[in-house]
Structure formats: C-alpha cells, structure tokens
Amino acid sequence: MSENDKINPDDAKSVKRKIRHRRRVRNQILSYVVLLILIGIVSAAGVIGAKKLVSLFVEQKARDEAAISENLASQDSVSDENLTISSPDAINTPSENSVSDNAEEIEEKPETDPEILALIESMTPEQKAGALFMVSPEAITGVDIATRAGDGTKAALEKYPVGAIVYSKQNVLDKNQFITMVGTTREMYDGIYAADNELFSLMTAVREEGAFNAIAEGTGEKAATAASDIGASGDKTNAYQAYLEIGSYLNKYQIDIDIAPVCDVASEGGYFQGNRSFGTDAEAVASMTASAVSGLSDQSIVSCLSTFPGQGSVTDGITGGSTATDRSLDDIRGFEYKPFVSAIDEGAGMVMVGNLAVAEEDGARVPSYISYEMITEELKGELGFEGVVITDDLSVIAKGAEFDQGEAALRAINAGADMIYVSGDFENTYNEVLKAINDGAITEERLNDALARIYTLKSEM
C-alpha cells in the first residue's frame, strides 16, 4: 500500500466529532439560560439574600460544569483513538443460565441521543420506510446493471430515501469509475436529504472478505487472503491485518460497511461456502472474527457479521424460503454463537440474519430472519446486541417462501430486524412496508427502535 493510498481514519469520524461539538454547544447554551433565569430571580428577590443566591448559583454552576466535563471525557474515552481492544481469546459461552443471570442488564437499553430522537420525530412515513432498506443500485433504479449515477439515480433517490446502497461486482468496471459512481450517489443523496441534518446521510456497503470480493478485482486492489487460509495459519494477527488492509481501500471508495467477516464455523463433513469460513473450531473462529472486526474498526469501517445464527452445518447451500439444519437451538447456543459473541464484544455494528430454520413457531421451524425468538430474544436479548440487525438479501433467501417479499419484509421487521436488504422487487416491498407503517401493522415502538439503531450507527461512522 503506497503513501498516496493511505486514508486518514480521522476523516471517517467527522460526523461523530460534529455531533459531540453540537452537544458541547447545547450544554453551554443551557448553562447561559440557567444563568439568566437565576439573575432574574436575584433581581426579583431584591438586595436581601442576593449574595446567598449568587453563592448558591456559583456552587451549582461549578457542579454542573464538572458533570459536563466528566460526560465529555467519558465520550472521548471511547473514541477509536483510545479504544482498548480486548483479547478475543477470552470468550464466554452463552447459556440459558447466563441469560437469566444478566436479565436486568439486557433489559436496560442504551439512551438514545436526543438529536436522533428529534430527527425520527420529524421524519415523514416515507422517509421512515426508506431508512429501513439497504438496496442494490439496480433495485432502486430498475436498470439491469448500474455502473454510473445519473439522472435516473437522482430521481430514484428523490422518490425513495433508502438507508443504504449495497454494491456488487457488476457495479465495478475500474477504480475511477467506481469512485465516481459512489461519490456522485452520496452527493446526490446528501443534496436531497442531508442539507438540514447531517445524520440524514446515505450508508454504502459491499461484501469484501478475501474469498468473496465485490470490488477488489474490478478496481485492481490486492484482494485479501481467504478466511480458510487465515484460519489455517492459527495466528489471529493475520485476520486483523487482512481486514485492516480491506478497510484501507474501502475508505478510498467511500464505503462505510463491509458485510464481513463470515462467522460460520465450518462443518467437518463439508461446508457450502467453502473457504469463506475461518475453520471448524469454534474457539479459533471466534478469535479470528474478533480480530477481523478490530481491523475494520481501526479503519472506521462498520462490520456486518454474516450470517446469524451460523450456517456452518449447512452442506447443500441456501434454498428458497428456508434452510434446514439438524442442529438444535441448544447446540447452536453452545457452538455456533461463539464467533458472534466474540465479534459483537469487539464492537461489530451490524449483524446479518439468514433463513436457517432453528426456532419453532406454532410447532414448526421458521426461518431465522422472521423469527422473533431468534432476533429479539436470542440475538438482541441473550447475546445483548445493541447495533443494527439486517436481513440477508430477501430477493434470494425468501424466494420460494409461502409469502411474497413484501410480507417477508414486514414479518422480519416485526420479528426485530432493523433493516431489510433487497436486490430486486424493491418498489413493491417498500410500498408494503410503508402501508404497514401507516396502518399500524408495524408498531410505533418497533419502528422507532429500528430507526434509533440505524441513526445511532450513522452518527458513529
């Protein structure tokens, strides 16, 4: 990697810093308002007792300033520059007992930034529906293959305020073309939506992991080593370095999210994704996935873990509707969960959920992406994941299901998914979700929780 190719990770943190700045300004304004009120009280009270009131104000102001300073210091202490990365070797295996022991901690939700809550309150139903989607350029524009962002892209963005665009190999012809395509798309989106609030920005994503590369080949970037080879080395530093380099070139193309690493623990008897897994040992894979997340994080790239609850037991590939496994939920908790636990603890911002049928509903196993038990109770509850849960591509995993893609999206959201990924039939799916929002088929609480997670993630990019 040449000196010219290096990207300053601080550039990717500009949004976070601006938000902190606004918080500081807001705190200062509140202090001045309090001061003016107290001055008015002092004036009304007259000379008698004024000195005492002023003395009380000075003491209170000193306490307030100390509290504000402590709060800001706490925020700064969790910045990427000062982040202390814990060892992924120390992994606590989740169990049913651990869930009950930590139930109170799980129920305590992190406080959402008031600015994000205000943004959500100001959004139209159309904007709220759009924010729930990650779509391919083809899905939103209706073209067969998209390689540039022109008038059609702008018109589509004006109609559909989607939360994210995900790019694939077919969108990449060469380095300059892809830089221009992504940059122009982002500028169009920001010009339409982010002028009044920078949080209302577009996220961009790819799958880039070594064995599967969306942009390395087309752009001429050096592709990372396949996960299986990294795992075979037995050195988690190799996973860190590989994903650090991936993150470095993703920054050049203004990509925010890498749908990686794969957290599947490969089956000894064969694994349908081949070299995309770090290996067959759950503890070793957990160590590798945490290091991969750390590498991406150090380049300010969000990791989207793939694919919950772990598809290593699948040998024949993903089928339409749902994919069967002979693994029980208890089996998966004690084995397949380990890489997810490790990577979540390392700070992964997103988790992708697939159609592996594990949990039961009405006596039958249902795909995980529409399972309340798997998303809300297991992933968000037992594993304590506080980031954004997104479905795998519904245009693939829901094909052949007994319900259409729009209903699949609605069921996924109500099960706890915060974003929906589609590469086709977007318009109909969006309209069904919008209708569900307007009709109350998606509750306000569930909708606001999803949006809060999405915009919290955007604020941290």
In contact, 16 and 461? CB cutoff 8 Å: yes
Report the mean per-residue pLDDT for the chain. 82
pLDDT of residue 108: 55
In the numeric block, the tokens 């490790």 are attached to 342
d(CA 433, CA 339): 32
Would you give per-residue pLDDT tens digits along the chain (461 residues)?
444 444 444 544 443 344 334 433 443 444 444 344 444 443 444 433 444 433 444 454 444 444 434 443 433 333 333 333 333 333 333 333 333 333 344 345 668 999 999 999 999 999 999 999 999 999 999 999 999 999 999 999 999 999 999 999 999 999 999 999 999 999 999 999 988 788 889 999 999 999 999 999 999 999 999 999 999 999 999 999 999 999 999 999 999 999 999 999 998 777 778 899 999 999 999 999 999 999 999 999 999 999 999 988 876 766 667 888 888 999 999 999 999 999 999 999 999 999 999 999 988 899 999 999 999 999 999 999 999 999 999 999 999 888 999 999 999 999 999 999 999 999 999 999 999 999 999 999 999 999 999 999 999 99
**What is the token pair recorded at 405?**
């893609």
- The three-state DSSP-derived secondary structure of the chain is CCHHHCCCHHHHHHHHHHHHHHHHHHHHHHHHHHHHHHHHHHHHHCCCCHHHHHHHHHHHHHHHHHHHHHHHHHHHHCCHHHCCCCCCCCCCCCCHHHHHHCHHHHHCCCCCCHHHHHHHHHCCHHHHHHHCEEECHHHHHCCCCCCCCCHHHHHHHHHCCCCEEECCHHHCCCHHHHHHHHHHHHHHHHHHHHCCCCCCCCEEEECECCCCECCHHHHCCCCCCCHHHHHHHCCHHHHHHHHHHHHHHHHHCCCCEECCCECCCCCCCCCCCHHHCCCCCHHHHHHHHHHHHHHHHCCCCEEEEEEECCCCCCCCCCCCCCECCCCCHHHHHHCCHHHHHHHHHCCCCEEEECCEEEEEECCEEEEHHHCHHHHHHHHHHHCCCCCEEEECCHHHHCCCCCCCHHHHHHHHHHHCCCEEEECCCHHHHHHHHHHHHHHCCCCHHHHHHHHHHHHHHHHCC
pLDDT of residue 38: 43
d(CA 307, CA 252): 26
d(CA 204, CA 255): 5
**What is the token pair recorded at 143?**
């073209």
Q: How many residues does the chain have?
A: 461
**What is the token pair recorded at 421?**
């990924």
Please report the sign of the dihedral spanned by the C-alpha atoms of residue 110, residue 111, residue 113, residue 117.
Answer: positive
Q: What is the pLDDT of residues 277-323, one digit of tens each?
A: 999 999 999 999 999 999 999 999 999 999 999 988 876 766 667 88
d(CA 289, CA 298): 14
Domain boundaries along the sequence of the chain: 3-82, 96-459
Q: What is the pLDDT of residues 428-449, one digit of tens each?
A: 999 999 999 999 999 999 999 9
Please report the sign of the dihedral spanned by the C-alpha atoms of residue 340, residue 345, residue 346, residue 351.
Answer: positive
d(CA 101, CA 118): 35
Residues facing residue 354 across a β-bridge: none
Phi first, then psi: what are they for 123, rounded to 5°? -75, 145
pLDDT of residue 25: 41
Side chain identity, residue 285: V
**What is the token pair recorded at 277?**
């897994």
Please report the sign of the dihedral spanned by the C-alpha atoms of residue 337, residue 250, residue 419, residue 421.
Answer: negative
Instruction: Report CA-CA distances (Å) from 84 to 78, 120, 151, 345, 381.
Output: 9, 32, 45, 12, 25
Instruction: Report CA-CA distances (Å) from 306 to 350, 390, 401.
Output: 9, 10, 21
Parallel/antiparallel/unpaired status of strands 388-391 and 364-367: unpaired
pLDDT of residue 29: 45
* CATH tag, 96-459: 3.20.20.300
